[in-house]
Structure 1
Amino acid sequence: MTVTLIPMTQDDFAHYTSKSILVYADEKVEAGTWTKEEAPEKAEKEFERLLPEGLDSENQFLYAITKIEDKKKVGWLWYRFDPSHRQKEAFIFDIFIFDELQGQDYGKAALQELDDHALANGIEKISLHVFAHNRRAINLYEKLDYEAKDIIMSKLLNKG
């Protein structure tokens, strides 16, 4: 299976953000970072901070992950790259494969396509954040040669 990265349209962006903000809020709650009550508002504010101009936000690149064979969208990819960054590093903020298509190697194909795209655009390093409870994603990233560079660990003292 082959995918390509096609710049998001305004309609794509609206669908992406409406879903992704909720998913991000849930992930932050599951990670123990935010409470369930505060998570939706905090997630929305984080997206607004990072994407103040929506699709036109400086150094932010948002794509529809699209199957080459039939042009069907299978997910979304968002990364930041500032060409003046001294390490020529891109940071993946989100890779999202539609629920019904997960487990079919679209995430792997999208990340491999991103590698080619990145090299063609002067990017020398790709980094990302993954929640520790997302074992499926961690396994995928490790298979694609991503390595842990910084680990934060927590311990809940009142498990009652």
Structure 2
Amino acid sequence: MDESTFQFFLSQSTREYAAEKVKSGAWDPDNALKLSQEAITRFLPSGLHTEGAYLYSVVHEDVEESIGYIWFNVTEGRGGREAFIYDIYIFEPYQGKGYGKLTMQALDEEASKMGVTKIGLHVFGQNTRAFELYKKMGYIITDISMSKELKLEEDRS
């Protein structure tokens, strides 16, 4: 990923993450963008040049244009080198055409070359398309958080 693509990625990823956190009920819409910027800065303190962070443009070979991106960090974990996917996004016109699966397969190959023995990720509960893809790619559920909205007595009348 080059610097101009990184700036686009940073803007889009920040907005998307904030929107997903609001949709999930975790963040208030008024503070979501600020919280999203803080979270991304925490994991990319030196931007594109953050040690251990890998940011790639997903490029369609036939037309040689970017169709998405993927960001993962590699760290030393209890069982060796571990990767964590912070963002994977295939642009809307290319979604549902197998590019997400191909991107995940390319990640497996790249991470394996890096000596990574485990890849983790987080998926929002409302993102069923991504959840189904990850299950097909061999990811297993390691933790589930759930919530339920209740109506207050005064709201029921």
TM over 0.5: yes
Aligned to 1:105: 98
Ranked by relative contact order (alpha carbons within 8 Å, sequence separation 6 or more), the top structure is 1
Moved over 3 A (4+): none
Aligned to 2:43: 50
Aligned to 1:76: 69
**SS where residue 26 of structure 1 aligns?**
helix
**Alignment partners' CA distance in 2, 1:89 and 1:53:** 20
Aligned to 1:91: 84
Deviation at 1:101, TM superposition (A): 1.3
**Alignment partners' CA distance in 2, 1:118 and 1:52:** 22
**Alignment partners' CA distance in 1, 2:96 and 2:38:** 31
Aligned to 2:27: 34
Deviation at 1:112, TM superposition (A): 0.5
**Alignment partners' CA distance in 1, 2:138 and 2:70:** 19
TM-score, scaled relative to structure 2: 0.92
Deviation at 1:157, TM superposition (A): 2.1
Deviation at 1:86, TM superposition (A): 3.2
**Equivalent residue pairs, number:** 152
**Alignment partners' CA distance in 2, 1:47 and 1:127:** 17
The 5 A counterparts of 1:130-145 are: 130-145=123-138
**Alignment partners' CA distance in 2, 1:129 and 1:158:** 29
Aligned to 2:143: 150
Percent identity for Structure 1 against Structure 2: 39
Q: Which segments of 5 or more consecutive residues in structure 1 lack a partner in the other structure?
A: 1-7
